[in-house]
Amino acid sequence: MSRKPELRGRAARLAQLIPAGGGGAARTPFVLLVVLLLGGGLIGLLMLNSALSEGAFRLADLQKGTKGLTDEEQALQRDVDAYSAPDALQRRARELGMVPGGDPAFLDSDGTVKGVPGAATQPPASPAALRPPEMPSPYPSPTASPSPTHTPGTPSATGSTAPPSTPPASPTPSPGR
């Protein structure tokens, strides 16, 4: 039989501070608390990681959309610049029958006229100006888009290869749009 050695002095006083036995029952709630805290922290980190990943994918999609819209904006700006160039404006004005203006006259605030106004005159017509502008054909050219091929033994959808009697309406492009 083993007998516990008897403590003396300072060791005996310290031994009285520590409870004898019952240490196992108090340890179980502490271990459960630590396990629950660690598990909750792990689940929280997984949810945070998933949210960040989702945000990264959304950011990538938005950046792709922004790049596409920027490209479209630049293309539209190039079109606007081409339509607003002086030579393009002059060509379009001549197509519409406009002529350059004459000498300007200015009105003062008291109603007097400064300068001699001049009428706009039609410049001499060049052979190219006498021709009407060419209108695009409503029918596609044979080389532009191939027609569907007809194989023997299968009926044609329309029954004939003649063009339709009325041409389809085609919108006319307007500058700047």
pLDDT digits (tens, 9 = 90+) for 153-172: 555 544 445 544 554 445 45
pLDDT at 11 (0 to 100): 78
Average pLDDT of the residues in 23-50? 90
Token code pair at residue 35: 């396990």
Average pLDDT of the residues in 69-90? 94
Residue 91 and residue 128 in contact, taking contact as beta carbons nearer than 8 Å: no
Residue 117 and residue 103 in contact, taking contact as beta carbons nearer than 8 Å: yes
Average pLDDT of the residues in 120-133? 61
Residue 152 and residue 122 in contact, taking contact as beta carbons nearer than 8 Å: no
For residues 33 and 41, what is the distance between their CA atoms, to the nearest angstrom?
12
How far CA 40 is from CA of 31, 35, 37, 45, in Å, comes to 14, 8, 5, 9
pLDDT at 5 (0 to 100): 72
Could you give the 3-state DSSP secondary structure of residue 72? helix
**Any residues with CB less than 8 A from the CB of 116 and at least 6 apart, and which?**
103, 105
For residues 85 and 65, what is the distance between their CA atoms, to the nearest angstrom?
30
Q: What percent of the chain has pLDDT over 70?
A: 63
